[in-house]
Chain A
């Protein structure tokens, strides 16, 4: 099962390695990870998405995260009301013939075509993971050349 966990940490060097180490030591792959400063520049906010087969192992990881000295708070969004978003940048083939079609498709996803040059368009879109997934499927007919995603960020109500 996929879990989204947020971790509030002291903004210091080495903290990311401590957090990542707890997952890697148990053979867990982090699906996505987003880190940034918060209102307090001494505190950073991490959103971690991880695939965990065994709920008890994940429970143990969360307890171990809480034990790390530089960690202030750990929240698991799995059963919590929350909002989550991800930003994607996609390079898609875009000719004079397909440009209008592409723009209308991207518009349906509240995205936009940032730049269109030499038959390549760069598209940005923000959404929940399901929406992003759907957008990427729809774009595949145009020919996707490159794709960059920020990974999920999430906040509780």
Chain B
């Protein structure tokens, strides 16, 4: 792994991984000891998202491995390069219900890009090289290596493959020239184009190309949750996020466009809403490295399989003259002015205000991670990410408990950046034990808990669609300040609006993990909102 440039591993020891941990005792590779294996997977994931490198986590067999599962599934859904290593019972005991045995390659088959059970020590270096290659190329994803304890003990002369060559795995990197020409024709014909870009832009490091492309064809840009940061939020062509909690103007522009250029995005149901109403009059160009993403949910007119950065480069070369979209941009600007993102002050602290303050203090230079729920959507709407890899959130799987360990991973990968986790009072309790990891390893992440005393997103649905029957969404919470302090971190409580900014500034200046427990308006809703299964221009809660 050292050969693959690994600097840090997130892990937790156990009986069937003890030989690997013994080697790590004096091997020049840093291991961050987490307090729950799920956090190891999320931390490796956060590290990968923040740095673009492969994240690595390590656990023992059985329960150690099964605790990784949520984190592996999360990385799989969001196409994050990760290598997970698990100990396994001795190879001659496999299948015998041995102590701490689980069929981990079986369990992880549908949630990994690939997985391996090492049956011979001679295969190990090839498998490790293949795992890193598979995890980081094409559409990235997690790869798991399961190593039985007896194989861990065996010794073999180390050799490292110079390159990885696999006949059955060759990702397409460049777009087909014929398709590029078709796409250029469609772009030149279009009067109302929109670029809908996602996490693939960040994965392929194609943000600069995306910006150049948007400016060249004068098309407005909307991003998915996974794409935030891929295009600077302050850019005049930027429309914010689209979909269920997207901006009104992004959704109107998408629904009224005559051409949608989908770039590294996959037409998720949270983006398209009711499928048969989605952008009915638009031609669709879809650029994606994964052929199985194309025409999966929405029929595509011009599919282009290839790496986003390369394909955008190819398109930029082919497009000689900029199409005239000035009328369209005026219309879009009209929507922008008419339906801006807003919130109403009702006496208590608005959660949106907190995000605005974080944005102002950091000027978009921080890395913001989130958990999953209302706070996540407020962060997506109100934090104006300027750079790729600066907004880190669980998109596909929607994993509560992701943000805090992901923030640890991001901070380990980018020690010079201020790293926030924007959390809810529900989500933070799903991996709150990682306070210990942060204190012991001096990982000073800043956790902002938007504490409304509810599982807010579900409560919002219950309010709107279940007659305010708040079934099991009222949270009894511990004193988060005391919890942070008990672990050796710093806790700050905020109950007044004027305390918000000083608390954020104090947290940034503190060289320790900080919990800011902010008591916000309890029944604030995330708006705009498209009810699940409806057309995305049927928004509620517009200004």
- Residues of A participating in the B interface, judged by any CB pair closer than 8 Å: 9-10, 13-14, 17-18, 21, 25, 59-60, 63-64, 66-67, 69-72
Q: Is the CB of B168 within 8 A of A70?
A: yes
- CB-defined interface of B110-121 with A at 8 Å, one 1/0 digit per residue? 100110010000
The reply to whether B292 and A64 contact each other, CB–CB distance below 8 Å, is yes
Q: Across the interface, do B134 and A69 meet the contact criterion of CB distance under 8 Å?
A: yes
B109 touches A18 (CB 8 A): yes
Q: Are B109 and A66 in contact, CB atoms less than 8 angstroms apart? A: no
Does B291 sit within 8 A of A, measured CB to CB? yes
Q: Which residues of A contact B356 (CB under 8 A)?
A: none
CB distance from A24 to the nearest CB of B (A): 10
* 19 A-B residue pairs with CB within 8 Å: A9-B168, A10-B168, A13-B117, A14-B105, A14-B117, A17-B106, A17-B109, A21-B109, A21-B110, A60-B296, A63-B291, A63-B292, A66-B291, A67-B291, A69-B113, A69-B166, A69-B168, A69-B169, A71-B168
Using a Cβ cutoff of 8 Å, how many contacts connect chains A and B? 34
Is residue B290 within 8 Å, beta carbon to beta carbon, of the partner chain?
yes
Q: Mark B165-180, 1 if CB is under 8 A from A, else 0.
A: 0111100000000000
B168 near A67 with CB under 8 A, answer no
Tell me the count of chain B residues lying within 8 A, CB to CB, of chain A. 17
Known: A14-B117, A21-B110. 17 other contacts (CB 8 A): A9-B168, A10-B168, A13-B117, A14-B105, A17-B106, A21-B109, A59-B295, A60-B292, A63-B291, A63-B292, A64-B292, A67-B290, A69-B166, A69-B169, A70-B114, A70-B168, A72-B168
Known A10-B168, A14-B117, A72-B168; judge A67-B109 contact (CB<8 A).
no
Q: What chain B residues lie within 8 Å of A9 (beta carbons)?
A: 168
Partner of A66, one of B113, B114, B134, B292: B292
How far does the alpha carbon of A49 sit from the alpha carbon of B446 in the complex, in Å? 55
- Determine if B168 and A25 form an interchain contact, defined as CB atoms under 8 angstroms apart: no
Q: How far is the CB of A107 from chain B (nearest CB, A)?
A: 45
Least Cβ distance of B480 to chain A in Å?
Answer: 40
Query: Which residues of the partner chain A approach B105 to less than 8 Å between Cβ atoms?
Result: 14
CB-nearest residue of chain A relative to B290?
A: A67
Q: Mark B469-506, 1 if CB is under 8 A from A, else 0.
A: 00000000000000000000000000000000000000
Closest to B114 in A: A69
Residues of A within 8 A of B110 (CB): 21, 25
> B166 to chain A: which residues have CB within 8 Å?
69
User: Is B292 within 8 A of A72, CB to CB?
Assistant: no
Question: B113 — nearest CB in chain A belongs to which residue?
Answer: A69
* Chain A residues with CB below 8 A from B290, complex form: 67
Shortest C-beta distance, B275 to chain A (Å), equals 12
